[in-house]
Amino acid sequence: MNTTTQTAAPSLLAPAFAMALIGLSAMFVAGVAQSATMHDAAHDMRHATGFPCH
């Protein structure tokens, strides 16, 4: 009987999901706020997370 339920690398999934959530929320905030400061912050976040930008 196998008591150890091993899911697919939770130590890798957690930060990847958190990073995607941060990137999406940053883009969403920039799209709604339409502020230059927020846009710059989201733009930097986009490049930092490796999102396709320009």
Residues in the site for Zn ion, rule: CB under 5 A? 53-54
**Contact between 46 and 27 (Cβ < 8 Å):** yes
Phi and psi dihedrals of 51, rounded to 5? -75, 145
Closest distance to Zn ion from the beta carbon of 16 (Å):
21
9 or 54: CB nearest Zn ion: 54
Q: Which is nearer to Zn ion, 13 or 47 (CB)?
A: 47
Least spacing, CB of residue 17 vs Zn ion, in Å: 23
Residue 53 φ/ψ region, left for φ over 0, alpha for ψ in the -120 to 50 degree band, beta for the rest: alpha
